[in-house]
Structure 1
Amino acid sequence: MILTGPEIVHRRERGEITIDPFDLSCVSPNSYDFHLSADIGWYTVDVLDCRSENPFARSTIPAQGMVLEPHRIYLVSTAEKMGSAHFVPIIRARSSTARLGLFVHVTADLIDIGSINHWTLQLHAVQPVRVYPGMRVGQVTFWRAFGDIELYDGKYQGSTLPMPSQIFRDFAAAS
């Protein structure tokens, strides 16, 4: 069951949902619009290796914006710290963003319950597109969980900057 916008506001007021900073004008009928931070990163090699820590560069998106180029994945953190130990967040691009050919977090939209962070978004541009720090880029919905709740305590917990993939740690743990 999805929470309505007014219910997101109510649950945030009760401390069951974290959205910080919070702006009432970002509440939609059944979601909350979130923003890009100025923190951005990208991989610096052409071939990424799942078993290795891949070289990664960090920068900031200037106030005048930054052009994202096709054929590259960009990692940007949300301006808001968000999450919940009571509800399951799911994130998507806003339709206005998608209509520019900017894919936002397409393949990993389910956020684990208990993951309360500045989430890392994966951005991919179909054609060159200029993005700006603080722009509304996506929406988060919150869903009621059924069953026993085990809170997320994984390798990305507590992140504030865009986090590159840590999949290589899965290989080390399996050894």
Structure 2
Amino acid sequence: MSVLSHDAIIKAFQTKEIVITPLNENAVGPASVDLSLDNEFRIFKNTDSPLDIKESTNYREETDVVTIKDGEYFEVQPHTTCLGITRETVTLSNGICGLLEGRSRFARLGLFVHITASFMNPGISNRQVLEIYNSSNRVIRLYPGERVCQMIFMRMDGTAQYKGIFEHNYL
């Protein structure tokens, strides 16, 4: 596998190996594409009951949706996890996979945007759910439309396609 450069990403857009909608052409960097926050977040319900980490546990049943208007912000309390989602839909061909990473400018302020699930499978076509964590001692304000993460693309040796529970990701 090899990481795609700026020019290779542009070529992959042209050949439809990678489709990002909507695409901000200014978001294409030397070896990645920045993605932005949408208006929806999920916050974990306040409960004293344990959270079972099992395949059968559904995060949607353990969270509530909060929708923020453009121009407003969503506050993430210190040492708290919430879920967000990208504004962009990313579609990858069966020969391309990706890694979702935070942007260092925000990581330096204590923002984690994917905690552990950074791998994007070949053949996906969805918006990316962000597992957001505020590691700082201060409230972090998140703004819809802000570019908070970046996707790195890799060309695979061979092809494959993801078929699983998160194939059609939504928050």
Per the TM superposition, whether the score is higher than 0.5 is yes
Aligned-partner SS, 2:8: helix
Residue 5 of structure 2: aligned partner: 4
Letter in 2 for 1:78: T
Q: In the alignment, which of 53, 62, 71 is matched to residue 50 of structure 1?
A: 53
Aligned-partner SS, 1:80: strand
Residue 151 of structure 1: aligned partner: 161
Q: In the alignment, which of 68, 72, 79 is matched to residue 64 of structure 1?
A: 72
Q: Superposition RMSD on alpha carbons, in Å?
A: 1.5
**Contact between 1:83 and 1:89, CA under 8 Å: does it hold in 2?**
no
Residue 109 of structure 1: aligned partner: 118
Residue 173 of structure 1: aligned partner: none
Q: Please say if 1:126 is aligned against 2:135.
A: yes
**Contact between 2:80 and 2:135, CA under 8 Å: does it hold in 1?**
no
**Contact between 2:115 and 2:133, CA under 8 Å: does it hold in 1?**
no
Provide runs of 4+ in structure 1 moved above 6 Å: none
Please report how far the alpha carbon of residue 10 of structure 1 lies from its aligned counterpart in structure 2 after TM superposition: 1.4
Long gaps (5+) in structure 1: 163-175
For 1:117-149, what per-residue CA distance to the aligned partner results, in whole angstroms no more than 9, with x for missing partners? 0110100001311010010001001001113x2
Deviates more, 1:83-92 or 1:54-63: 54-63
For 1:92-128, what per-residue CA distance to the aligned partner results, in whole angstroms no more than 9, with x for missing partners? 0011111111011031111111122011010000131
Residue 152 of structure 2: aligned partner: 141
Aligned-partner SS, 1:6: helix
Residue 80 of structure 1: aligned partner: 88
Identity of aligned residues (%): 30
Aligned-partner SS, 1:119: strand
Higher strand proportion, which one? Answer: 2
What is the distance in 2 between the residues matched to 1:155 and 1:32?
25
**Contact between 2:90 and 2:128, CA under 8 Å: does it hold in 1?**
yes
**Contact between 2:83 and 2:132, CA under 8 Å: does it hold in 1?**
yes
How many residues in Structure 1 have an aligned counterpart in Structure 2? 160
Q: How does 1:5-20 map to 2 (within 5 A)?
A: 5-20=6-21
What is the distance in 1 between the residues matched to 2:103 and 2:85?
16
Long gaps (5+) in structure 2: none
TM (normalized to structure 2)?
A: 0.87
